[in-house]
Structure 1
Amino acid sequence: MTRDLAAVIAGGAVGTTLRLMLDALIPHGDDTFPVSTLVVNVVGAFALGLLVARLRSSAPSWLLAGLGPGLLGSFTTFSAFVIPLVTLASSDRWMTAIGYLAATLLLGFGAAAAGLALGRGRGRAAVAPLAPVAPRAPRDEVDE
């Protein structure tokens, strides 16, 4: 087993666990708007955009594999997006299904774009914690 594969397996376990925890915190029935699935997919799209922009060229391959396909791949899934959509449509809840589809696509693309922009340093104050901090020289005296 390679290091990349081990990272994907470990990340997948974490992503799946986070997904189940969020589903438990934001429950929904078969015929209601799938809020937890929408939240998971939008947050995942943002995180993947941020990951690609910040770490793609500098992180080791095992870390990218563990965080991308592993953690985020198991946290967000296409089937988790489609199943509520089909369930809503088959229950003749067309407006809710269309609203869910539109919200997922618009918010997902927007979140991915925001993650990419933030990761590339195009955000404002939120980027400051991500920027490397120059080491400070030790001070002999403390000013009061």
Structure 2
Amino acid sequence: METHRSGAVDEPADADPDLPTSARRPRYAPTREQGPVIAAVAVGGALGASARYGASLLWPVAADGFPWSTFAVNAVGCAVIGVFMVLITEVWAAHRLVRPFFGTGVLGGFTTFSTYAVDIQRLVSGGHARTGLAYLALTLFAALAAVWGAAWTTRRLVAWRRS
């Protein structure tokens, strides 16, 4: 805002001056319809993250070793999302909260590409650059292959069952 010599302050221009004041709402304010979606994502995310944590407890990795548990979790999660997306977009008419709960929440919480990045950084800074780069490439390849292969297989199985 700019103050003039007269003491008047220039206010920022209204984003949409044609709307009545009662109809204006900040762009970030959730609507009533978003509440159930946010809750579904939150509950699903808690379940998925808990499952990932359980996997890390069952399959611990040495500090300087290849992060097999994170690699497996990401590959499995990508395969499941491939199956899931085919089923809910091509086979079933899913409830509007299924995708946010399971796809975004459970699988988003289960897969962990932030840990993947931290693992790469940890390996490289720990003097294991070759292992870090191998992990970088293998995870990318495995994730893409898993989602593609699972979607392709699911489509074939669905077509076979329908014939």
Q: Same fold (TM over 0.5)?
A: yes
Residues in 2 aligned to 1:70 and 1:55: alpha-carbon distance in whole angstroms: 15
- 4+ runs of 1 displaced by more than 6 Å? none
Task: State yes or no: 1:78 paired with 2:113.
Answer: yes
Residues in 2 aligned to 1:5 and 1:12: alpha-carbon distance in whole angstroms: 10
The superposition leaves residues 90-143 of structure 1 with CA deviations (integer Å, 9 ceiling, x where unpaired) of 1111121121112101111110001211232x25xxx69x958xxxxxxxxxxx
Question: Which of 1 and 2 has higher RCO (CA within 8 Å, sep 6+)?
Answer: 1
Percent of aligned positions with the same letter in both sequences?
34
Equivalence map 1:59-138=2 (5 Å): 59-120=94-155, 122-123=156-157, 131=161
Amino acid at match of 2:149: A
Please give the root-mean-square deviation of Cα atoms over the aligned residues, in Å: 2.0
Q: Which blocks of at least 5 consecutive residues in structure 1 are unaligned?
A: 133-144
Partner of 1:28: 61
Amino acid at match of 2:137: A
TM-score after normalising by structure 2: 0.71
Partner of 2:39: 6
Residues in 2 aligned to 1:56 and 1:64: alpha-carbon distance in whole angstroms: 10
TM-score after normalising by structure 1: 0.80
Q: Specify which of 39, 47, 50 is matched with residue 83 of structure 2.
A: 50
Partner of 2:49: 16
SS state at 1:22 partner? helix
